[in-house]
Amino acid sequence: MTATSPSRPPLPPSIATKSSSTASLSQLGAVASSKTTSAPRTHTSSRAPLTARQDGPSQDPTSQRTTLSLIRRTLVSDGSQGTDLRASPGPIEGILPPLTSSNEVDVQLYAIVAIVIKDFVNSWYSKITPDRTFVDEVIQIIAHCTRALEQRLRQIDITELLLDEVPVLVERHIDAYRTATTAPATVQYGESPRRIYHSLNPHPALDPSLTAEEQRRYESAYRQLLIQGALAVLLPTEDLANACLRTLVTDIIADLILGQALAERICQPWFLHGTVSKVVEIVKTPPSKATINKEIIQQEGRRSRLEKFGLLSANAANQRNHSPAQDQSLLSAWFWTLLQYAFIAYQSVRFILVGMAHAQTLPPRVPGRLANAPAVSSPSQNTSPSSTRGKSDVDGHPAQAVINYGLFSCISTILDLSVRMPWLAASLSFWQHILAQGPGRYGAASSILDKFLYHTISTRVFSPSLLPPLLLQVRAIIFPNNSMGPPAPPPPSAEEARLIRSKAASDILSLVPRPVARKFFAVSGANDEENQESMRAQIEESMLCWTDDAELNKHLIYSILDLILLRLVPEMQGKTPIELLAERGVVLSGEADGEELLVDLNEEKEAL
């Protein structure tokens, strides 16, 4: 046996496959133990280990490796990728066109694009044709749009947009919701809360008097209008001339991204309440908590092994069960606590003084907005003093002071501060007026305090380094398991939605110190469980109630979408997409052919 085995040549793959069913057990063992370099593997045997590594159940959908694998599988064509590239892949920025000036942001944006194309484009387009030219063209168009949006984003005041203008819309939504859902309003006007809300806060895409089918058509047409207008400004001329490609990209963004993700998912109350819980979890979890826990577990493991084998003395084991605070005297514990608070106070005062000194060297604040940006906050909202107060406009008026941002008024409205603690709301308004309009105007726009606050918020709260983790969290919330199709969990039932809302209220309550919460919610009972339940119920009824109606939430979501698009693309104000295309000099001669091709593709997609 030993003399014949080395002289036997390895079987070719085809012969080995055909004779595998009739070979003996010893022959199979000899073939399996032969070197892989002596004969090439079959296609099936080479894919099995790769699938096991990539599709393992222990992989995190939001990990860097899984994200890059998703992007390469979906967006990188087979011709440019190849087998060698899968074995040792190069960087994504060297294969795909850049979306922004940051590679980390590009990875997260490409992951979202890959999910949309995987679930809603390749699912039907790959059955029509294996050609990937359309996907490559879509990627190029998205890259053009994102780069143009980034350039426009640098010209607007992000801080004022997110902390002043968006909170004004949220506050208007809360006021209209509370007015529409009160019993006197329903009795007096004899209308449903949705009709009362729509009369107070109307939107052209929403009308409660329409049927469900008509309402869906109105929303789809409005989203198409917004996206077509934005693409008519952002896309290059050669891409605008391709009517078929432009229409397909418009359908992907308007119907798939905005329609299914924004209008049908984000507007749901259970989704908003679940998002609140996730945000609270992120806030409560320090970045280094995992590392600290890992070190503690390792130390505990080492000590437990020493105790197991009797290498740790009894005195040492007893000392481990006592915390350092128990061994210290009461005076020493108070001393270290006082020293800790003194250090925190010193760091806070030092930060404020250094920041104020640096603010003196900063230039005066100027309106960071496009030259032709509209002064109104939304085309669907009527101009009101609360929405246009103090706004910087094209006439060179000074920027809005930070202490007058709409965020503070919005927080007061959410907390219902004027009803629960009117003395506190009046005191805060008084000091706000003194700082902004009183002697010295220490909090007015372009003052030292204002420049310090604005610089701190712009550099620390809206730091560009926070954008990739934010996009990652948004992708994990909207697209769980990197999919929006069947793998995503189904919508919860009414009982599950109620539990999600209750958990969100409990999470919010966990952020508030217990003495502050008892004073704010006016709870004075002796039973802690009853007090906790009472405070949680008050949070549900007053702070989360304005998100309970999905149709009314659409008013808020669409209003915010209108505001952001008009700030980024102010050319859309008062113009139709056809007028914007005419200004670009685009000849629509091939529009009919493109629409006919789009109809044929849609018919084939529906048939499949």
- 430: pLDDT confidence band, cut at 50, 70 and 90? very high
- 17: pLDDT confidence band, cut at 50, 70 and 90? very low
pLDDT of residue 506 exceeding 80, the answer is: yes
pLDDT confidence of residue 525: 73
pLDDT of residue 562 exceeding 80, the answer is: yes
Rounded to whole angstroms, the Cα distance separating 197 from 76 reads: 47
pLDDT confidence of residue 186: 61
pLDDT of residue 487 exceeding 80, the answer is: no
Chain segment 362-390, per-residue pLDDT in tens: 888 876 543 334 433 333 333 333 333 43
Residues 142, 99 contacting (CB under 8 angstroms): yes
Chain segment 64-118, per-residue pLDDT in tens: 888 888 898 888 865 444 444 444 456 777 889 999 988 899 999 999 889 888 8
pLDDT confidence of residue 478: 77
Higher pLDDT, 233 or 389: 233
Portion of the chain with pLDDT greater than 90, in percent: 25
- What separation in angstroms does the CA of 15 have from each of 18, 38, 42? 5, 14, 12
Q: What is the mean pLDDT of residues 242-256?
A: 81
The pair of three-digit structure tokens given for residue 109, joined into one six-digit string: 């944006």
Q: What is the mean pLDDT of the chain?
A: 75
- What separation in angstroms does the CA of 426 have from each of 412, 455, 462? 11, 28, 30
Q: What is the CB neighbour count within 10 angstroms for residue 4? A: 7
The pair of three-digit structure tokens given for residue 15, joined into one six-digit string: 């012969």
Place of tokens 């000099």: 585
- What separation in angstroms does the CA of 68 have from each of 107, 110, 391? 8, 9, 43
pLDDT confidence of residue 482: 81
Higher pLDDT, 24 or 284: 284
Lowest mean pLDDT segment, chosen from 248-252, 396-400, 443-447? 396-400
pLDDT of residue 152 exceeding 50, the answer is: yes
Chain segment 27-59, per-residue pLDDT in tens: 434 433 443 334 433 333 333 333 334 444 446
Lowest mean pLDDT segment, chosen from 118-122, 181-185, 318-322, 529-533? 318-322
Lowest mean pLDDT segment, chosen from 198-212, 258-272, 384-398, 481-495? 384-398
Q: What is the mean pLDDT of residues 523-542?
A: 87
Lowest mean pLDDT segment, chosen from 185-189, 582-586, 587-591? 587-591
pLDDT confidence of residue 253: 85
By three-state DSSP, how is residue 322 classified? Answer: coil
pLDDT confidence of residue 588: 58
pLDDT confidence of residue 321: 52
Lowest mean pLDDT segment, chosen from 44-58, 237-251, 448-462? 44-58
- 266: pLDDT confidence band, cut at 50, 70 and 90? confident
pLDDT confidence of residue 21: 39
Chain segment 571-587, per-residue pLDDT in tens: 988 888 888 888 887 76
pLDDT confidence of residue 176: 93
Closest CA to 413 of 579, 271, 543: 543
Q: What is the mean pLDDT of residues 497-517?
A: 91
pLDDT confidence of residue 145: 87
pLDDT confidence of residue 51: 36
List alpha helices for 88-211, DSSP H: 103-120, 122-128, 133-153, 158-160, 166-180, 183-189, 193-200
Rounded to whole angstroms, the Cα distance separating 29 from 108 reads: 47
pLDDT of residue 559 exceeding 90, the answer is: yes
pLDDT of residue 126 exceeding 50, the answer is: yes
pLDDT confidence of residue 601: 47
pLDDT of residue 318 exceeding 70, the answer is: no
HSE-up of residue 123 (Cα within 13 Å, Cβ side):
13
Lowest mean pLDDT segment, chosen from 348-362, 375-389, 554-568, 592-606? 375-389
- 16: pLDDT confidence band, cut at 50, 70 and 90? very low
- 10: pLDDT confidence band, cut at 50, 70 and 90? very low
Place of tokens 């190069």: 90
pLDDT of residue 598 exceeding 90, the answer is: no
Higher pLDDT, 78 or 170: 170
Rounded to whole angstroms, the Cα distance separating 289 from 304 reads: 22
